[in-house]
Structure 1
């Protein structure tokens, strides 16, 4: 059975490498055997790989957008260092007044709010009755200190569902702190 399974995986990989003309020439030879009905496994492997690649491409695209902001706004921060080894779902970029100027696509997935809805609001619009006041105060104080920090806060999605959110905030500077970036993930 293992030998047949390995053979089918190799065959599936071979088929995937063929162009349309080559596939048309061998298509009739590929009729499934009545004695062995197994799923095509390599397609699952390929889909796992493809999904991972799409996620990585999305992350790279998000980082490139932040780098474009960095160039345009002349930040002195090393953007690659900010993202190095970080795990996040959402990126929120705010100005010095904490008004959101950009969020990535992960923001809608995490919160249910559209990008356009979030613009010009402060991230505190995600907080609600269950959000710890001490946590909110600590976040404001750490932002005023203009040092990177990490905190966990209870936020609320558009549908009012609460979720715990780990935020890592980094001040961004050109001579002085001009913006903040938050890397966020549900915990």
Structure 2
């Protein structure tokens, strides 16, 4: 270990550079450690667990936000089931006219657009030249049916790069549909 630089601490490097005489002069000033630090051999296991806990916490906060909208607008949907049954990266809530009233942080990560930019726009601003007209027509007709559905669409980020997005759209209702929520994730 003495000359293995990858395993040496700063003091080890300094001490290894001393002659025997120089070391003998200062060794009484060097204390011993009460504990020896151990290298973290399970960093990957720790990070997986940490990432999982952070994702669960973020999703709990997002569910609470959506449930606060549910109270405000008297939605009758069981949103907890919708969240537990669907994986997502981005959330978008629109009104009946498809104007965005709220997006989560995942929306910004996925698209590059800020929350404030997205507000009061329709999600169509994410579509571009590579977005299929057939897919756009399919989404429009399924929205008019007022039933949950899933579709894959090619969207465009702020930097103009394309991505395939799986969109699960759920009508939110109080007697009739008042809003929509889209649970979105990027797919290959």
Q: What TM-score do the two structures reach when normalised by structure 1?
A: 0.79
RMSD: 1.5
Q: Distance in 2 between matches of 1:132 and 1:98?
A: 19
Cα deviation code 1:26-51 (max 9, x no counterpart): x923336xxxxx83124443332122
Q: Distance in 2 between matches of 1:137 and 1:104?
A: 26
Q: Give the aligned partner of residue 85 of structure 2.
A: 85
Q: Distance in 1 between matches of 2:48 and 2:134?
A: 42
Q: Structure 2, unaligned stretches of length 5 or more?
A: 1-31
Q: Distance in 2 between matches of 1:134 and 1:43?
A: 47
- Which of the two has higher C-alpha Rg? 2
SS in 1 for 2:98: coil
Within the candidate set 29, 38, 42, 2:34 is matched to 29
User: How does 1:36-115 map onto structure 2 within 5 Å?
Assistant: 39-115=39-115
Deviation at 1:74, TM superposition (A): 0.2
Q: What TM-score do the two structures reach when normalised by structure 2?
A: 0.79
Q: Distance in 2 between matches of 1:149 and 1:41?
A: 45
Number of aligned pairs?
156
Q: Structure 1, unaligned stretches of length 5 or more?
A: 1-26, 33-37
Q: Distance in 2 between matches of 1:28 and 1:39?
A: 16
Q: Distance in 2 between matches of 1:85 and 1:77?
A: 14
User: How does 1:175-186 map onto structure 2 within 5 Å?
Assistant: 175-186=175-186
User: How does 1:90-169 map onto structure 2 within 5 Å?
Assistant: 90-169=90-169
